[in-house]
Chain A
Amino acid sequence: MEVGMLPISASKRGKLLAAGYTTLDAIARASPSHLARDIEVSDNEASEILNLAAKASASEKPNETHTTVVGGGRTAWDMLNDEKFSSYITTSCVDLDNILGGGIKCKDVTEIGGVPGIGKTQIGIQLAVNVQIPQDYGGLGGKAIYIDTEGSFMVERVLQIAEACIEDMEEYRNHFHKDFQACDVKMHPNNILENIFYFRVCSYTEQIALVNYLDKFIMENKDVKIIIVDSVTFHFRQDFDDMALRTRLLSEMALKLMKLAKKFCLAVVMLNQVTTKFIEGSFHLTLALGDSWSHSCTNRIILFWNGNERHAFIDKSPSLKSASAPYSVTTRGIRNSTSNCKRIKMMNTSGMVLCLLCHGWNLKLGWLYLRGTVKFAVSFSYKELRSYLLPQVWFICYFPWLQLETGSTGVVLHAWLR
C-alpha cells in the first residue's frame, strides 16, 4: 500500500514523498522525531502520521486477498532487482546457455518442443540432474520433479548422465579449488536418483490431478527447484472430441504451473511434440496443442535438425532475443556441438596437448583427458569466460595449471568463431 492512500492532507503527503517515504514500511521504520525533521512538521503531527500508517498497514494484511491487485502490485524497479538475483539451471551446453542468458530460468515456464529423437527427453533428464549441482559449484542444489507421461524416462540413462555430471564436478574441483574444503562433499549417483521425484501418469485426468496436488507436495519438499513435464501433450492428443474443453483444461493446468513457478521460485519445463499445420497451401511444422496453447508459456524453444546437427531456437521470449545455437546429445548428456569448432593450432608442451580451437570472438576453456581419446570435460559459463577474454589473462591463468598437471591431463583453449 502506498503513502498516497493515507488519510492525510495533500501537502503532508507531498512532503512525505519528497523526503523519500514512498511506502508504509519506510514510514513505519522511522521514529517520530526523525520523521518530524525530515518532513518539517511538529512531533505531534509526525506521530499522528505514524499511527495512521501503522493502522493502514495492519488493516492491509488481513484483507490481502481483497486487495491483491493493489497489495500484490510491485514496481518494475523491484522486479528488476529480483531479476538480477534470479537463478538459472545450466543445460550443460555452453552455446545453449549463452543464448538463454545462463540457462533455464527459475520462476519461468519454458516450453521445449521438437520432432521425435531430437533430444527432448535428454534435455529433460539433463536438467533434472543439473538442478542438483551444489551451490559451491555454481548450481542450485535443488531437487527435481519429473512428470513422465510417455514412459521414455530411462533410469539407466539418468545414471549415465548423473555419473558424467559428478565426474565433471570433480574435475572442476581438482583444477580450481584444490584448497577448497567445502567442496569435499562427495556426491553419489544414487543421491542424484533419490532427489528426482518421478511421477508416471497414465491419463490426462491423472496429469491434471497431479498438477493440482503439486502445490501441497512442494510445500512438504521445499527444495524442489524444477518441474519437468515430459510431455505435456501426449494424453491431450487422444480421445478429445470437445476441443474447447481441451483448451480450457490445458490453460487451467498451465496457469497452475505458472503459479507454482512464481510461488516457489522454481523453473517449469514443459516438453511438447510437433505436428504439421496447413498454412497457405503448404505444410509447416509447429508445436502441438494449437495456437491458444502457445500463449500459455513464457518462453518457447524449438529444437530442430540443421543438416547433421541439432539446433535449439528461441521462438518466443519476453527478455531474450531470438537466436539459435547448436548442441549435441552425447553419452554424457547434452553437450556443446563439436563439429563446428575448427581446430587451428595444436602444440605439445611437455607431454600435454594444447589445442586452440577457433570459433569467433567468444573464448572457451575446457579440460581434455588424453587417455587414448580426446574428451571434453568441463566448460564454463559465459560470465566466467568474459574474464578470460584478454590474451594476457589466459597466460596468467593457464600456466600455473600447466605446472600442476601431470602428463595425463591437458589444457584446452577454444576460441569460437561465429
Chain B
Amino acid sequence: MFMFQMKQRNDIPSHGNLVITARIEITWLREMKPENLLLLRHRSEKCTVGCPVLDRCLGGGVPCHSITEFVGESGSGKTQLCLQLALSAQLPSSRGGLSASSIFIHTEFPFPFRRLRHLSRAFRASHPDLPDPCDRVFVRAVHTADELLHLIPTIETFLLHSRSRWRPVRIIVIDSIAALFRSDFENTGSDLRRRSSLFFGISGGLRQLAKRFGLAVVVTNQVVDFIGDGDVRVGNLSNGLYSSGRRVCPALGLAWAHCVNSRVFLSRDEDGPVRRRKMSVVFAPHLPHCCYEYAIKGEGVFGVDMQREQD
C-alpha cells in the first residue's frame, strides 16, 4: 500500500526508499503490542554503585534499560566509580546488585588494572562468599569512534552467547566517550555533522542493547572550560557547573546531551588542605536535583553522610 501510493504520486522510488518500505512492512507484520507497565514496574531495576549514600543520590543506583553519564574533570573519580560499579554489579539482588558480569570498554590508556586489583581485594574482604570479581569484568580497548560503532553488533553476539556460559552481562561501561571524539574531528560543518550522526548512532545502538538485555549503560564524559556566554544551559544547576574553581561544561555539546538519559556531574574543589568532591544530578527522568559529597579512599568511593556529620 505504501509503495503503491508512492508510485501514484509519480515519485520514482529510489533504492533506499524500497529498502525502507520493505523494512517497514516487515516490522508491521511482526505483532506490535504495548508493554504492560505493571510488569515493567518490576523491571525498572537499579544497580548499586557500592555505597548506600551515593545510591541514595542516584535513587537506588544506576538504572537498567537506560544510559547514565558521569561527567567530570580528570581526577574527579569517574573511573573509580565505574570500576566500583563493575564490581558491585556482581552482588546478588538482595544486596542491591544484579549478580551479573560487566563489559568495560576503555578508550584512555592504560587500563587501571592495579586499581581494579586493589578494589577487588577490598571487595572480596567484605563479600568473601563471592568468587574472584576480576574474572567477571570483560575489558576491551577501543581507539576510535567508528570502532565503537562497529563493536556494538559484536557485543550483541557476545551477550547472546555469554548468557549461557557465564553470569549474564548487565553492565556496559564506556570510559570515556569524549576521548574518542577529541582528536579525529575538526571544527568544520561536515565534520561536526559526521560527529553528531556518530553520537546518535552509538547512542541508538547502546539503547537498543540496553532495552533488549536489560543493561545499565554507563558512559563517562570529560569537561571543557566554559568560554563566553554563548552556551546553552542544560539541566538543573543554575549557576553553571564548577570544578576546581573554574566554570566548566560537559564535552561533546548539545547533541550528545540528547543521547544520554541521565547526567551526573562529579566535581572537585581544593578548599585549602581539604579536598571536597561532590556528586550532583544534572538531569534525569526519575530524579530531582540533589547533591552529595563523597570521598575516594583506598577501598573505593564513598559518599559522606551529611546528616550524620551534622549530628
Contacts and interface: CB of A to CB of B under 8 A. Distances in A.
* A, B co-complexed: yes
Interface of A: 115-117, 121-122, 145, 150-159, 190, 193-194, 196-200, 202-203, 205-206, 208-210, 212-213, 217, 233-235, 237-240, 242, 245, 249, 273-276, 282-283, 285, 305, 307-308, 330-331
Interface in B24-64: 24-25, 27-28, 32, 34-38, 40-41, 43-44, 59, 63
Given A194-B37, A205-B23, A237-B197, A122 B233 contact: no
Interface string B6-35: 000000001011001001110110001011
A156 B44 contact: yes
A154 to B, nearest CB: 4
Interface of B: 2, 14, 16-17, 20, 23-25, 27-28, 32, 34-38, 40-41, 43-44, 59, 63, 65-67, 196-197, 200-201, 203-204, 207-208, 210-212, 230, 232-236, 238, 254-255, 257-258, 260-261, 263, 282-283, 285-286, 288
A332 to B, nearest CB: 11
Contacts of B208: 202-203
A197 B63 CA distance: 22
B27 A205 contact: yes
B172 to A, nearest CB: 14
Contacts, number: 138
A115 B77 CA distance: 27
Nearest to B59: A156
Nearest to A330: B288
18 contacts: A116-B258, A117-B234, A153-B285, A154-B63, A155-B43, A193-B41, A198-B34, A199-B32, A203-B204, A203-B208, A205-B20, A210-B32, A213-B32, A234-B204, A237-B200, A237-B255, A238-B201, A239-B197
B211 A156 contact: no
B41 A209 contact: no
Given A117-B263, A235-B204, A238-B200, A273 B258 contact: yes
Nearest to A208: B24
A209 B32 CA distance: 9
Nearest to B258: A273
Contact of A239 (B34, B201, B232, B238): B201
A273 B34 CA distance: 24
Give the most central of B212, B230, B254: most A CB within 10 Å: B254
Contacts of B282: 117
Nearest to A198: B35
B193 to A, nearest CB: 10
Contact of B207 (A151, A194, A205): A151
Q: Identify the interface centre among A154, A275, A307: most chain B CB within 10 Å of its CB.
A: A154
Contacts of A152: 66, 261, 285
A154 B210 contact: no
Contacts of B257: 115-117
B288 to A, nearest CB: 6
B37 A117 contact: no
A382 to B, nearest CB: 28
B63 A276 contact: no
A151 B37 contact: no
A142 to B, nearest CB: 15
